[in-house]
Structure 1
């Protein structure tokens, strides 16, 4: 059968060399920090080999210092209190266990970075172009030991005694290149330029190098091995297409045969660890049914803990996931938006006696519905007074700061004297507007490749910054005290003291009078974030204080649950991403086309496009620069009203440098709308 060869490039779209962990040449070129003072001119102007007279470590630091990925030199572990900047992830031991899935079946289990492809961490290797290229090439059978060679580049062996990397032998590199480079040429791709064989030693010389041992498996853990011995990508297993020449990839495709659990009533297979984990994965949510064994006086939390009925909706968290305090307040009744409160496992109406405007404001805010536009005291219907359950305003309601509405109400022995119920009509606050743009009716000509944005054009765009590293990721303002970004921006760096959010910026190099800066109070990374597949890639950021809404700092609208942009519609991405080898200090904008999930999946054989992802971009060859940063917004305009809604956060894919390959992949904000609102509610109103 013919072999499909789909490849992609992933780039993290952070701007400066330093914030990428690279060394900046005098001419602005970025090169890996490990190339500093290595005897070769890697910068075109030779600046990486200047001032190298001291005895230096491979990272360019003098003895007794550790090379941080920011290219600065700091004392080694135990050599003082100084440390690398927050973006550094070099391990003091220099050797670290291999976690890259592609290479888990190697005859060695320790690695060190940077690797021979210039990657600075296993995470960077896992989402690199090469981590997709080599497994796809393995399918062609061009060289028996190609996967072993690829892993010696991606996760080089680290000798635990000398703490030095052990390179592949030159003959292994030459064999792989000679046998497989021509296969890449057929589809118009080039062999990785960083894997020059002349840099590796010959076997039998003074230097140690790696050759495959007898019995090394050609297939990686990310492959399925056909009965014939051929390797095909694991994603092709049981996909309805015959990829093995003996068709063995389509045999025994039941869930049980693959050690998976079959959702009752469907043929959907999920991992056993996903059963009863608090997140529905099967149709009709059947994987989350019958998971709790609670007593008659208890209720089940979403994560299947049991909590006593009397503690339900009391304004304090008793379920570890806070689900005992969700949906405690609603505005629903056949006679209008009557306030209903669920407390101690029963529904109550709120007596209008002692009700006031501040409580109305709290109600709308807690429900995420904006501000009260009208409040009505509805007379109770005749004949139901004796059957009505009432809650009354607590005498000390105003002393219960940061408390949910249900904690400010109490049951009393007597009924409601006025026999009137509270009814509140809320109006959503304005969002997604761009008042700084005087003429919004005239659409600017579509320009592929992006352009500099106008001041105030995207008032919800913000910059997530960290210490001396400066701008790290994009972010998006969704409320006066809340922003969104992607989860992978915070990997290993969830300490709020490291971060600040800057808004109202157009030029990173010249903050204007319109900019505002806020510290970070809390970082909420989605509990299901999976770094291996970059799924559930979203986090909520609580600011230390509210921003001042101006024409240049305003929140964007969140989508309603189920609201998605149509395939082939056009939306915008913005950010301070890569533009060749330089950083655009001025905010860039670019128009992209929404791509269907099926079409998007066709670009990414090694990655699964999940419902938590959204794809946008252009056909091959049309986008030649990166406008978006990780965490930056993808927004779409509501036709006729000039209101913008946030549908995506730049996550991964080919947003940058997509001259040949597929689209960018974004976190699908619509999928997370309810979760976002829950996190805002939990961190605003609930106490432990």
Structure 2
């Protein structure tokens, strides 16, 4: 029988008592990353083991965090305490902040110009064939009527040449991209209108083109994979008012980016627009849309992911509405003034222009390889922010 000295026995019992009584010690911090200690017996001796704990960032519960932008419109978050005390799981409220315009930059250097309707930033004039407007400026709810030629890729999906039901974007002479929900059940008498900002009385030079084929994503189940392609029966003729928009080519739209939505949907809650409308929108974290939809008892957006974009306004201003599905969310490149198709209008609150409920768009970047494969288009230069 092994006999221990009195001193060894006391030390052994003390270690066991400590470990049994406390296990890991109390974390040194309640948030932001602390440490815990534990005394363990190892090969007849003892050692002190440490581990990290409470690594969740500290939150000022119930108080607005710092705005993400100093001007031009950013967002901020307020987290309410909950049982888990986990900043990622407790209820959040999102708000816009510092929405005042940034200071003007003065004269832009040669081969540069101001960003669209923004004198606080200059961008390099694009050399891409796509994404270039014919009109240069120094009915989406709360939006403004678009100028002829500003968005030459804007397509209206119409029945019998006068009833718009969805939007789309021209990406090649023979291809228009839209939302799968717009073409999953093809409509009789449907065609595509290009080159006009009005529908009932299209401007001179407009093009009505019949549809040859509808292609929807094979795994479309709303709101996932809400993307589709329309193959035209004849090529669109490129003119001053009919041009393609660029695909992202690797560019990911960042949170807080200022972009534009264009669409043919309702210009108010009660009337459908005959004119193409545009609206200035901001890009938000996806959670903003999830929690916003919850506030109006809509829960089918809970699993939106990187294949979606959340954009709009947290005020009851510009919003997508009935008839805007399939329309474009377009952004200027970080490296130039060129426009690319960042998103396709997919979902909204169903009430149009509701405060704190931005809109959900299909993220074109996520599906670009599929688009290029189906349209047999070559990948151009890659762009990043």
Q: What is the TM-score when the length of structure 2 is the normalising length?
A: 0.59
Following superposition, the deviation at residue 452 of structure 1 comes to 0.7
Q: Distance in 2 between matches of 1:242 and 1:595?
A: 19
Matches within 5 A, 1:88-487: 430-435=129-134, 437=135, 439-440=136-137, 442=138, 449-467=142-160, 470-487=163-180
Following superposition, the deviation at residue 620 of structure 1 comes to 3.7
SS in 2 for 1:677: helix
Please, which of 546, 553, 571 is the counterpart of residue 259 of structure 2? 571
Partner of 2:324: 629
Shift in alpha-carbon separation, 1:528–1:627, aligned structure 2, 3 A: closer
Partner of 2:219: 528
Report if aligned partners of 2:312, 2:319 keep a CA contact under 8 Å in 1: no
Q: Distance in 1 between matches of 2:334 and 2:243?
A: 20
SS in 2 for 1:603: helix
Report if aligned partners of 1:572, 1:634 keep a CA contact under 8 Å in 2: yes
SS in 2 for 1:604: helix
Q: Distance in 1 between matches of 2:160 and 2:131?
A: 30
Q: Distance in 1 between matches of 2:180 and 2:265?
A: 18
Task: Give CA-to-partner distance per residue, 1:400-447, whole Å, 9 cap, x none.
Answer: xxxxxxxxxxxxxxxxxxxxxxxxxxxx96000012x1x44x2xxxx9
Ranked by relative contact order (alpha carbons within 8 Å, sequence separation 6 or more), the top structure is 2
Task: Give CA-to-partner distance per residue, 1:365-408, whole Å, 9 cap, x none.
Answer: xxxxxxxxxxxxxxxxxxxxxxxxxxxxxxxxxxxxxxxxxxxx
Please, which of 328, 346, 349 is the counterpart of residue 651 of structure 1? 346
Q: Distance in 2 between matches of 1:677 and 1:642?
A: 23
Partner of 1:544: 233
Partner of 2:277: 588
Report if aligned partners of 1:626, 1:657 keep a CA contact under 8 Å in 2: yes
Shift in alpha-carbon separation, 1:625–1:461, aligned structure 2, 3 A: closer
Equivalenced residues, count: 249
Please, which of 285, 300, 304 is the counterpart of residue 609 of structure 1? 304
Shift in alpha-carbon separation, 1:505–1:543, aligned structure 2, 3 A: same
Following superposition, the deviation at residue 613 of structure 1 comes to 0.9
Do structure 1's residue 559 and structure 2's residue 254 form an aligned pair?
no
Task: Give CA-to-partner distance per residue, 1:442-482, whole Å, 9 cap, x none.
Answer: 2xxxx992111111110000111123772111010001111
SS in 2 for 1:463: strand
Task: Give CA-to-partner distance per residue, 1:178-224, whole Å, 9 cap, x none.
Answer: xxxxxxxxxxxxxxxxxxxxxxxxxxxxxxxxxxxxxxxxxxxxxxx
Do structure 1's residue 515 and structure 2's residue 200 form an aligned pair?
no
Matches within 5 A, 1:49-68: none
Q: CA RMSD in A?
A: 2.9
Report if aligned partners of 2:194, 2:206 keep a CA contact under 8 Å in 1: yes
Following superposition, the deviation at residue 490 of structure 1 comes to 1.9
Report if aligned partners of 2:173, 2:244 keep a CA contact under 8 Å in 1: yes
Partner of 2:337: 642
Q: Distance in 2 between matches of 1:639 and 1:433?
A: 15
Shift in alpha-carbon separation, 1:624–1:596, aligned structure 2, 3 A: closer
Following superposition, the deviation at residue 502 of structure 1 comes to 0.8
Task: Give CA-to-partner distance per residue, 1:77-118, whole Å, 9 cap, x none.
Answer: xxxxxxxxxxxxxxxxxxxxxxxxxxxxxxxxxxxxxxxxxx
Gaps of 5+ in 1: 1-238, 244-427, 683-688
Shift in alpha-carbon separation, 1:240–1:637, aligned structure 2, 3 A: closer
Following superposition, the deviation at residue 539 of structure 1 comes to 0.3
Q: Distance in 2 between matches of 1:640 and 1:627?
A: 34
Q: Distance in 2 between matches of 1:529 and 1:474?
A: 18
Shift in alpha-carbon separation, 1:448–1:577, aligned structure 2, 3 A: closer
Report if aligned partners of 1:621, 1:658 keep a CA contact under 8 Å in 2: yes
Shift in alpha-carbon separation, 1:622–1:526, aligned structure 2, 3 A: same
Higher helix share: 1
Shift in alpha-carbon separation, 1:659–1:517, aligned structure 2, 3 A: same
SS in 1 for 2:167: strand
Following superposition, the deviation at residue 572 of structure 1 comes to 0.3
Q: Distance in 2 between matches of 1:569 and 1:655?
A: 25
Q: Distance in 2 between matches of 1:529 and 1:677?
A: 18
Following superposition, the deviation at residue 661 of structure 1 comes to 4.1
Matches within 5 A, 1:39-54: none
Report if aligned partners of 1:621, 1:659 keep a CA contact under 8 Å in 2: yes
